[in-house]
């Protein structure tokens, strides 16, 4: 089976390259996979002609779109760029996928929700983003479902992994030089290891998944609880101080609660490990490039 990946150099993209290279998505045999892995330098999503040419030439059965403008705070001051990449860029890929007869998997986010719900978000809950980033992704979801009704939209959250900036790496860096770190304790979500996410996405492709699917590691925590687990596991003596979001204002508003229900994923008989287990493996594993 042929696959084309947009966003190959990103945090998730690097794991998807490892997961999809040499893997057969359409059956039990894991051989014969043909992967076309593209970074932003290879194909700018805003360039409709380039996107169409890449998809026409690679003739993929599946297109995985993990490329995005993910600087949540940066999106607030660069609204046009956020929509050009995250929404119009996604539309370019969807239209090319339709022309080529390819299936499309689009990576989306918990930020399409406002965080006011007190129980895990289901796939059918209303979108109500409170940030430009979330709005650009929510609008993309709506457009893609119109263009390609069989699209698979995989929403995820709180990504961490090797090969780029992520929360555990930042906490470990700070903890190595400071006796105390302040971390917000009033935002709750599900940390998700890119290695586990890449594996689940490949399984969804094998299952010919369609519609919206929530894909995160199981369990939930606050950023403060996540930071505590990171520091404890690393054996560093740094103290973690809980603070409120109001004490650390950011340009983009974050959902106070963005836990995603796993029911849609379980419907495909796919279950994700607990985030604590994922963190242990992250701390004890090597980056994808060295495997």
> What pLDDT score does 27 carry?
37
> What pLDDT was estimated at residue 1?
76
Rounded CA separation 31/241 (Å): 49
Angle between helices 223-234 and 275-283 (to 10 degrees): 40
DSSP 195-218: HHHHHHHHHHHHTT--EEEE---B
Task: Give the per-residue pLDDT at 31.
Answer: 36
Per-residue pLDDT of the chain (291 residues; tens, 9 = 90+): 799 999 999 999 999 999 998 644 433 333 345 899 999 999 999 999 999 999 999 999 999 999 999 999 999 999 999 999 999 999 999 999 999 999 999 999 999 999 999 999 999 999 999 999 999 999 999 999 999 999 999 999 999 999 999 999 999 999 999 999 999 999 999 999 999 999 999 999 999 999 999 999 999 999 999 999 999 999 999 999 999 999 999 999 999 999 999 999 999 999 999 999 999 999 998 665 555
Does residue 188 contact residue 256 with C-beta atoms inside 8 Å? yes
The neighbouring-strand residues paired with 223 are: none
Do 275 and 149 contact (CB within 8 A), yes or no? no
| Residue 263 placed within a domain | yes
Residues annotated catalytic, as ranges = 133
User: Does 60 map to a domain?
Assistant: yes
Please tell me the predicted confidence (pLDDT) of residue 21.
87
Q: Which residues contact 117 (CB under 8 A, 6 or more apart)?
A: 125, 257
Q: Has residue 72 been placed in a domain? A: yes
Residue 77 resides in a domain: yes
Evaluate whether residue 180 is within a structural domain. Answer: no
Number of domains in the chain: 1
Structural domain range at position 72: 2-165+191-218+258-274
Copy the structure tokens of residue 56: 């026409």
Please check whether residue 157 lies inside any domain of the structure. yes
The CATH code of the domain that includes 37 is 3.40.50.720
- Does any domain span residue 231? no
Asked if the structure places residue 161 within a domain, the reply is: yes
- Residue 164: name the closest of 21, 75, 66, 288 by CA: 288
- How many beta carbons lie within 10 A of that of residue 177, not counting itself? 8
């Amino acid at each position: 089976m042929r696959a084309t990946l947009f966003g190959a150099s990103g945090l998730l993209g690097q794991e998807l390259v490892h997961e999809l290279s040499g893997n057969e998505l359409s059956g039990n045999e894991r051989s014969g996979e043909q992967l076309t892995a593209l970074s932003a330098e290879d194909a700018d999503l805003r360039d409709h002609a380039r996107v169409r040419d890449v998809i026409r030439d690679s003739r993929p059965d599946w297109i995985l779109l993990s490329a995005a403008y993910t600087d949540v705070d940066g999106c607030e001051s660069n609204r046009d760029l956020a929509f050009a990449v995250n929404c119009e860029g996604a539309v370019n890929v969807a239209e090319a996928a339709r022309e080529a007869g390819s299936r499309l998997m689009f990576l989306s986010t918990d930020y399409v929700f406002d965080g006011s719900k007190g129980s895990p978000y289901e796939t059918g809950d209303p979108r109500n983003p409170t940030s430009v980033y979330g709005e650009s992704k929510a609008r993309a979801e709506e457009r893609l479902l119109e263009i390609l009704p069989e699209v698979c939209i995989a929403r995820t959250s709180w990504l961490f992994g090797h090969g780029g900036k992520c929360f555990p790496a930042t906490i470990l860096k700070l903890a190595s030089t400071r006796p105390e770190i302040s971390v917000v304790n009033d935002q709750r979500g599900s940390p998700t290891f890119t290695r586990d996410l890449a594996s689940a996405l490949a399984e969804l492709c094998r299952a010919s998944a369609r519609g919206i699917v929530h894909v995160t590691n199981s369990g939930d925590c606050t950023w403060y609880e996540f930071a505590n687990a990171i520091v404890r596991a690393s054996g560093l003596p740094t103290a973690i101080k809980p603070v409120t979001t109001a004490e650390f204002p950011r340009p983009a508003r974050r959902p106070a609660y963005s836990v995603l229900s796993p029911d849609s994923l379980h419907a495909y008989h796919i279950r994700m490990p607990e985030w604590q287990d994922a963190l242990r493996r992250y701390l004890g594993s090597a980056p994808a490039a060295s495997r």
